[in-house]
């Protein structure tokens, strides 16, 4: 069972929302609705998130991503469609049951931290546990653990105003972690932070995710961020333009909208050896320098330069998958669509066409 599933989910703001949904279903474009003061924020979303996955919803401002994340914990009611959390239909819950579901299953991290200014760090972190009804001693103890987890030890008794932006968001993260829910919603959680701090927070999140394996829905408008942390990424502009892994988006953008986004992305960090390799015939592994298939391209520069022969890409069992040459790396970094067919990972290594082309430059 997926941790979160949405089925033909719509959210339209304004008068006559229901009618607008019917129109959207009939194929009326989103822009046509704006003329009559109806805003379609979320259009026909259908997707599922498995437990332990980091699912990134990516879109520009006004693309309905904040609305979407607030529907997942019932802060906003959908106009049409269904949301299932662990198979439970959110729309069928009473307000009381919905609150219990939030207490037990879903926590949230906010863009502007949303901390209580008059409470200390540890009291803020304990907020979710306080709502759960834990005794003071117990909730403070668990809050201290969460504070330690995000690396804020020593700042427990400070007030939020005494912390920097990055530290405040760690408090926000610790508050969500302390609640000990399976699902973590992160609404542009790192967008208000400086680029360096943001990267640090992304690393920390990935690090924590390695230990905790939560189901994370992460909202962002920054595609680099999305590709860095997301297992799968949904590019949204009202509707889902494309849903796939970072490589999918880079190598096979579904339309111009997605392609425009991916044009700015640092491809070398996202693409892996497997994605840029060129097919090769059956080879003796021992003659070549080998790299694992999951290594990102920006870590291949040195080995490629230092080795005369192409690098051999191998899978987990050390079986050869293909080869990487300086040419294949350069080709993969150019976003022009005409390079796509070659950069595409070939399911069958060793086809003639690939092998022939490969030999010439090598």
Partner 1 sequence: MIDYLRDWFWTYVWKPLPELAIGDWMESAIRWARATWAPFFTGIKDFLEFLYSNLADALLWLPSGLMVLVFAAVAFAAKGWKLGLGMGAGMFVVAWMPYWEETMETLAMVIVSALIATIIAVPLGILASENRTVSTLTRPALDFMQTLPAFVYLLPVVMLFRVGVVPGIIATIIFCMPPGVRFTELGLRQVDKEVVEAGQAFGASPASILARIKLPLALPTIMAGLNQVIMLALSMVVIAGLVGGGGLGEIITNSLSRVDLASGFNAGLAVVFLAVFLDRVTQGLSDRTPVARAALLTQ
Sheet with 320-324, edge to edge strand ranges: 290-292, 311-314, 320-324
Cβ neighbors of 137 (< 8 A, separation 6 or more) are: none
Is position 218 an interface residue for partner 1 (rule: CB under 8 A)?
A: no
Q: Which stretch binds partner 1 (CB under 8 A): 105-113, 191-199, 320-328, 331-339?
A: 105-113
Asked whether the beta carbons of 238 and 34 are under 8 A apart, the reply is no
Nearer to partner 1, 117 or 210 (CB): 117
- Could you tell me the smallest distance in angstroms from the CB atom of residue 327 to partner 1? 50
Is position 112 an interface residue for partner 1 (rule: CB under 8 A)?
A: yes
Is position 101 an interface residue for partner 1 (rule: CB under 8 A)?
A: yes
DSSP state of 345: P
Among 99, 138, 153, 315, binds partner 1 (CB under 8 A): 99
Asked whether the beta carbons of 111 and 187 are under 8 A apart, the reply is yes
- Could you tell me the smallest distance in angstroms from the CB atom of residue 45 to partner 1? 20
Among 30, 102, 168, 170, binds partner 1 (CB under 8 A): 102
Among 127, 190, 261, 288, binds partner 1 (CB under 8 A): 127
**What x/- string results for residues 43 through 72 when contact with partner 1 is judged by CB under 8 A?**
---------------------------x--
- Could you tell me the smallest distance in angstroms from the CB atom of residue 185 to partner 1? 8
Measuring CA to CA, which residue among 95, 87, 98, 106 is closest to residue 7? Answer: 87
Neighbours of 347 (CB within 10 A): 7
Place of tokens 């997942």: 72
Residues 140-159 that bind partner 1 (CB under 8 A): 159
Is position 111 an interface residue for partner 1 (rule: CB under 8 A)?
A: yes
Measuring CA to CA, which residue among 171, 181, 41 is closest to residue 112? Answer: 171
DSSP, collapsed to helix, strand or coil, labels residue 188 as: coil
Among 81, 128, 230, 345, binds partner 1 (CB under 8 A): 128
The partner residues of 13 in beta bridges, in order of sequence, read 39
DSSP state of 307: -
The partner residues of 40 in beta bridges, in order of sequence, read 12
- Could you tell me the smallest distance in angstroms from the CB atom of residue 195 to partner 1? 23
- Could you tell me the smallest distance in angstroms from the CB atom of residue 117 to partner 1? 5
Cβ neighbors of 191 (< 8 A, separation 6 or more) are: 111, 198, 220, 221, 222
Q: How far apart are CA 124 and CA 133, in angstroms?
A: 15
Among 130, 222, 292, 357, binds partner 1 (CB under 8 A): 130
How many contiguous H segments (helices) and E segments (strands) does the chain have?
A: 18, 13
Is position 191 an interface residue for partner 1 (rule: CB under 8 A)?
A: no
Nearer to partner 1, 30 or 102 (CB): 102
Where along the sequence are the contacts to partner 1 (CB under 8 A)? 70, 73, 75, 99-104, 106-108, 110-112, 114-118, 127-128, 130-132, 159-162, 175, 179, 185
């Amino acid at each position: 069972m997926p941790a979160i599933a949405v089925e033909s989910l719509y959210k339209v703001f304004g008068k006559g929302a229901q009618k607008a949904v019917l129109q959207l279903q009939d194929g009326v474009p989103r822009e046509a609705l704006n003329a009559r003061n109806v805003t379609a924020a979320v259009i026909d979303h259908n997707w599922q998130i498995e437990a332990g996955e980091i699912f990134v919803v990516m879109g520009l401002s006004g693309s309905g991503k904040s609305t979407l994340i607030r529907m997942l914990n019932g802060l906003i009611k959908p106009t049409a469609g269904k949301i299932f959390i662990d198979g439970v239909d959110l729309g069928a819950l009473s307000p009381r049951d919905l609150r219990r579901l939030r207490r037990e299953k879903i926590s949230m991290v906010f863009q502007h931290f949303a901390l209580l200014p008059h409470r200390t760090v540890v009291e803020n972190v304990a907020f979710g546990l306080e709502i759960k009804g834990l005794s003071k001693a117990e909730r403070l103890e668990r809050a201290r653990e969460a504070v330690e987890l995000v690396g804020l030890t020593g700042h427990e008794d400070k007030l939020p105003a005494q912390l920097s932006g990055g530290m405040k968001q760690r408090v926000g993260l610790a508050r969500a972690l302390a609640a000990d829910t399976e699902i973590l919603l992160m609404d542009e959680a790192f967008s208000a932070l400086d680029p360096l701090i943001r990267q640090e927070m992304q690393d920390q999140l990935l690090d924590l995710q390695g230990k905790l394996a939560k189901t994370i829905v992460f909202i962002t408008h920054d595609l680099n961020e999305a590709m860095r942390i997301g297992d799968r990424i949904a590019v949204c502009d009202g509707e889902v333009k494309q849903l796939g892994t970072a490589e999918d988006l880079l190598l096979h953008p579904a339309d111009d909208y997605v392609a425009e986004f991916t044009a700015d992305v640092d491809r070398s960090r996202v693409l892996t050896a497997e994605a840029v390799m060129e097919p090769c015939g059956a080879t003796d592994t021992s003659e070549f320098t080998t790299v694992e298939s999951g290594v990102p391209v920006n870590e291949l520069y040195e080995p490629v330069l230092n080795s005369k022969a192409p690098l051999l890409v191998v899978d987990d069992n050390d079986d050869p998958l293909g080869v990487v040459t300086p040419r294949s790396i350069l080709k993969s970094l150019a976003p022009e669509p005409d390079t796509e067919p070659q950069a595409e990972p070939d399911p069958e290594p060793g086809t003639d066409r690939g092998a022939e082309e490969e030999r010439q430059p090598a």
